[in-house]
Amino acid sequence: MAKKLYVGNLSYNTTQEQIRTLFAEVGEIAEITFITDRETGRPKGFGFIEMATEAGAQEAIKRFNGYVVDDRALTVNEARPREDRSGGFGGGRRNDSQSRNRRGRF
């Protein structure tokens, strides 16, 4: 069964191909994704790799957590499930002095 890994502390210059080549040393890669900024398209310095097997994932964690790529020590661990985030803006009430002052004027 496939296992998703978090890979952090990536240099902005590190490519997906570099990481794919590295992780292919320990097993088959099902998918690789680098996270980028929505507006600028620049990398955010982390990504996810889905290894095809549990054994490959465990070996990748053991070998590559702390491994240096482009002068940066990688952080590699099991990816946590994505937290359910409610979308949209606004919402809660502000409790700062500015909002209190606004209410008092009307």
Rounded CA-CA distance 40/59 in Å is 34
CA-closest candidate to residue 35, choices 18, 56, 16, 21:
16
Q: 3-class DSSP state for residue 22? A: helix
The whole domain housing 30 covers 3-78
Q: Are 80 and 59 in contact (CB under 8 A)?
A: no
pTM of the model: 0.76
Rounded CA-CA distance 74/58 in Å is 15
The total number of structural domains in the chain stands at 1
Rounded CA-CA distance 90/85 in Å is 14
pLDDT tens by residue, the chain, 106 residues: 889 999 999 999 999 999 999 999 999 999 999 999 999 999 999 999 999 999 999 999 999 999 999 999 999 999 998 787 666 665 555 555 555 555 555 4
56 in a domain, yes or no? Answer: yes
CA-closest candidate to residue 76, choices 3, 9, 1:
9
Which positions ≥6 away from 101 have C-beta within 8 Å?
Answer: none
105 in a domain, yes or no? Answer: no
Q: CATH no. for residue 66?
A: 3.30.70.330
Longest dimension (CA), the chain: 68
